[in-house]
Amino acid sequence: MLGEWFFSKLRSAESAMEQGRLDDALRLLGAVRGGSTEGRAVVLRERLARLLSARARVRAQEARYREALDDLEHARGLAPLDPDSEALWARALDALRDAERAQRRQAEAVRAATDQLDAGRLATGRVLADKIEDAAVRHEIRARLDARADRARELLDRARAAQRAGDVTGALLLLSESVTRHGRDDETRDVERSLCLSAMEAADQHWQEGRLDRLGAMIEAANRLPAADPGLAGWARVMEGLRAICAGLHSAGVDELRAGLLRISAGRPTGRWLQDALEATAQLEAARDRLLSSPLMLAGPRSRPAPRDAALETQAAQPRAAQSGARMRLLLVDTAGSALLCMEPTVRIGRSGSSAGLEVAVPADLASHHADVVRVGDDYFLVAHAPTMVNRRSAGRVLLRDGDRVTMGARGRFTFHKPSSRSESAVLRLADRCRLAHDVGQVILFCGTFVIGPHSGAHVQTRDSETRVVVFERGGEMLARQISTDGRHLDAAVPLVEGRPVQIGDQRLTLVSPSAA
């Protein structure tokens, strides 16, 4: 019985060789060792070794060196290789090593060109792309470089147009976006030099006219450039000094001093010194009021105490039951992650797991109801109920401005942004350690519209996507549409139906309920 099995395997191996199925023949002969069939098996192995060597030559000619070496390795296991096959082994091994070195060089060239492209160094990226040997890959990298260069030129053209229209701040913002995303070249440097001259002239004019708010906005835009002009850097130091003065005026305790003196004088004879002190505080208060209403205050500190506004008091003190209809949605953007969409004017912030009815439940050591962010008109105020700092200053009630950094407790951190003057919506960008459930990294304080896109003026900033989308509410329904770089509508509005993904350009959006996520 065993002999018949051996003969069956040999016949199958011989048939496989005749049909060109060398791998099957190799497997079958490997099972036949010893016994009365060994002599015939040796003959078949030598034949199979010759066939494998022949196939190796064909594969080597096709530059399939690794497969050729595998065939020669199997042939050597069946019978000694002849001198030609040994020479083929050496040539294929050398060719394989050369091919692997070429592949490594290709991969390094592609990585270097891509790194320069991603960093916005387009000229260097183009030089490195020319060194890529693979024509298809070289063409793809060049196409990406050309697209980036076109976008850079578009931004520079818009910056020039804004400069001609007298909007130096807008021109600086467009230039900084071009430099940050696409790097510098000779054309960019020319625009930058021209804009810095215009900015210096505008700075002098704003200063003389007392328009310090415009001066501050322009200097902030200039500071976004990787290397600020020395003259503009001097103006930046001036603005920082003015902000410090404004903060000092706001924190001056004249009101408290006068109230204390009045308490002291209550029920007692008023001495002349006390009357003089009261008159002096009144003069201080009047002088402070004149300063607070002067152009000096247009310089504005990065955050200042909020006025005691009746609407603010009403919003912040509103009981939870009155907002039982609070609306929140989870927005999923494929190229930007998750964002929490809050549609009420008051957003409560506190420790996750508390029973305070929070919109923003932070996984950090906070009070159960730590603070509120309240929208009044087009302003946003922070109302703290527990230790809170804004830009490293203790805060109780503060008007928030774009870029303010808020710290609650030991580890609760977020940055307030109001990225676009065209939208009243704002964004709370949470520190990585403060991400909410569902990996939410930002909270959109929704007021009418917000923008999704790759530019700095977007509320939700995307990666690897050039599509710009505006999301808005109409008649209680959330809608979205694609817009151009200058804000023009490109397509009809598409409704955002809860739980149903929507494709707009290369963006995929999904609006869901947080409880259903």
Query: How high is the pLDDT of residue 302?
Result: 43
Reported as a single tens digit per residue, the pLDDT across 133-150 is 778 888 888 888 778 778
3-class DSSP assignment, residue 286:
helix
Query: How high is the pLDDT of residue 325?
Result: 37
Reported as a single tens digit per residue, the pLDDT across 294-321 is 666 556 544 444 444 444 545 555 544 4
Identify which of 515, 449, 444 has the alpha carbon closest to the alpha carbon of residue 479: 449
93 with 60: CB under 8 angstroms?
Answer: no
CATH 1.25.40 location in the chain: 2-100, 144-242
3-class DSSP assignment, residue 400:
coil
CB contact set of 127 (below 8 Å; sequence gap of 6+): none
Query: How high is the pLDDT of residue 443?
Result: 94
What is the rounded CA–CA span in Å between residue 462 and residue 472?
18
Query: How high is the pLDDT of residue 258?
Result: 60
Query: How high is the pLDDT of residue 110?
Result: 81
104 with 87: CB under 8 angstroms?
Answer: no
CATH 2.60.200.20 location in the chain: 325-512
- CATH number at 144-242: 1.25.40
Query: How high is the pLDDT of residue 404?
Result: 92
Query: Helix count (H) and strand count (E) of the chain?
Result: 14, 21
pLDDT averaged per 10 residues in sequence order, the chain, 517 residues: 69 85 85 60 86 91 90 89 89 88 83 75 76 81 80 87 89 84 79 88 83 82 72 78 63 58 53 68 69 60 45 51 58 85 91 79 86 88 89 86 88 89 89 84 91 88 86 88 80 87 88 72
Query: How high is the pLDDT of residue 271?
Result: 58
What top-level class would CATH report for the domain 2-100?
Answer: mainly alpha
What is the rounded CA–CA span in Å between residue 141 and residue 432?
33
- CATH number at 325-512: 2.60.200.20
CB contact set of 511 (below 8 Å; sequence gap of 6+): 329, 330, 331, 332, 341, 478, 496, 497, 498, 499
Query: How high is the pLDDT of residue 356?
Result: 63
Query: How high is the pLDDT of residue 416?
Result: 95
Query: How high is the pLDDT of residue 16?
Result: 85
